């Protein structure tokens, strides 16, 4: 995949976790169009963060995004059981590039 | 509320053409602030963007380099839908295919609505 994410992360309910997404100056570092998607098994991805740090309406405020240089990050401030899912970052340049996905396990 | 409803066969023979349609409700395919995408997902390739169409006084299409020679995207404004055709398929094209709306205005770009996904298996 064009963007690099950890294959898996885990945490206990109530704990914070962060998922990183590393690209290059040609994608993540060069544009402010990083978005994050949550995908539950058998479902389509759902947008949870766009333009690095903006939350669509209806997304809980425990989800937040940030960026430093060529690395974007998704933070979930207090894990809940329903947050167990796969998470994908993406960057829009002229086309869409995606990360390989991170499996979040809530212990 | 925007909804994208996908349709098309789930099994395609090698060397044949994969065809999928995405019907839009709650928005117009001619929305000049949106673009309409096809994206696929497989265990080996992850999420892979394939193609996009959008209307800005004229219709424009973009294609991923990896499939450019084999892919076509079409729009049917009378039915408010768009479609994907992928020619000369091989087992490597086996994937879940999604259509997705992209918000595409100056200063913001994201994929906010997705179809339900169609598992397409390429096999004889």
Q: Which of A2, A43, A95, A96 to mutate to test the interface with B (most CBs of B within 10 A)?
A: A96
Q: What is the pLDDT of residue B106?
A: 76
CA atoms of B79 and A75, how far apart (whole Å) = 41
> Cβ–Cβ of B49/A37 closer than 8 Å?
no
Whole-angstrom CA distances from B121 to B19, B60, B101 are 12, 29, 24
Neighboring chain B residues of A55 at a CB cutoff of 8 Å: none
With an 8 Å Cβ cutoff, the interface of chain A facing chain B consists of 1, 33, 35, 37, 43-47, 50-51, 56, 88, 90, 92, 94-101
Neighboring chain A residues of B111 at a CB cutoff of 8 Å: 35, 37, 45, 47, 90, 96
SS3 B37: strand
At A52-64, the pLDDT tens digits run 999 999 999 999 9
The DSSP output letter for B90 is -
> Cβ–Cβ of A101/B114 closer than 8 Å?
no
Beta strand ranges found along B1-124 (DSSP E): 3-7, 11-12, 18-25, 34-42, 46-55, 59-63, 71-76, 81-86, 95-105, 108-114, 118-122
* Tokens coding A35: 């978005």
In which order are the strands placed within the sheet that holds B3-7? B3-7, B18-25, B81-86, B71-76
The DSSP output letter for B104 is E
pLDDT for residue A1 is more than 70? no
Chain B's closest residue to A87, CA to CA, is B47
DSSP annotation string for chain A: --BB--SEEEE-TT--EEEEEE--TTTTTT-S-EEEEEE-TTS--EEEEBTTTBPPTTS-TTEEEEEETTEEEEEESS--GGG-EEEEEEEESSSEEEB--EEEEE-
> Cβ–Cβ of B62/A37 closer than 8 Å?
no
Neighboring chain A residues of B61 at a CB cutoff of 8 Å: none
Which residue among B48, B98, B108 sits closest to A51, beta carbon to beta carbon? B108
**Distance, in angstroms, between B109 CA and closest chain A CA?**
6
B117 touching chain A per CB within 8 A: yes
At B26-84, the pLDDT tens digits run 999 999 999 999 999 999 999 999 999 999 999 999 999 999 999 999 999 999 999 99
pLDDT for residue A42 is more than 70? yes
At A65-93, the pLDDT tens digits run 999 999 999 999 999 999 999 999 999 98
């Amino acid at each position: 995949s064009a963007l690099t994410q950890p294959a898996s992360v885990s945490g206990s309910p109530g704990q914070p976790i962060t998922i990183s997404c590393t690209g290059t100056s040609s994608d993540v570092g060069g544009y402010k169009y990083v978005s994050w998607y949550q995908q539950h098994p058998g479902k389509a991805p759902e947008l949870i963060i766009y333009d690095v740090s903006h939350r669509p309406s209806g997304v809980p405020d425990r989800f937040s995004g940030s960026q430093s240089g060529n690395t974007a990050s998704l933070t979930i401030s207090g894990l809940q059981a329903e947050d167990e899912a796969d998470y994908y970052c993406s960057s829009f340049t002229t086309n869409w590039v995606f990360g390989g996905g991170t499996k979040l396990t809530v212990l | 509320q925007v909804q994208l409803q996908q349709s098309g066969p789930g099994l395609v023979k090698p060397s044949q053409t994969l065809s999928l349609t995405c019907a839009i409700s709650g928005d117009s395919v001619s929305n000049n602030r949106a673009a309409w995408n096809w994206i696929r997902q497989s265990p080996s390739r992850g999420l892979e963007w394939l193609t996009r169409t959008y209307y800005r006084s004229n219709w424009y299409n973009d294609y991923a380099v990896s499939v450019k020679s084999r892919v076509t995207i079409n729009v049917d404004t009378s039915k408010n839908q768009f479609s994907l055709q992928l020619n000369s398929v091989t087992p490597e094209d086996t994937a879940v295919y999604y259509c997705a709306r992209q918000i595409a205005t100056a200063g913001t770009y994201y994929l906010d609505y997705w179809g339900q996904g169609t598992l397409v298996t390429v096999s004889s």
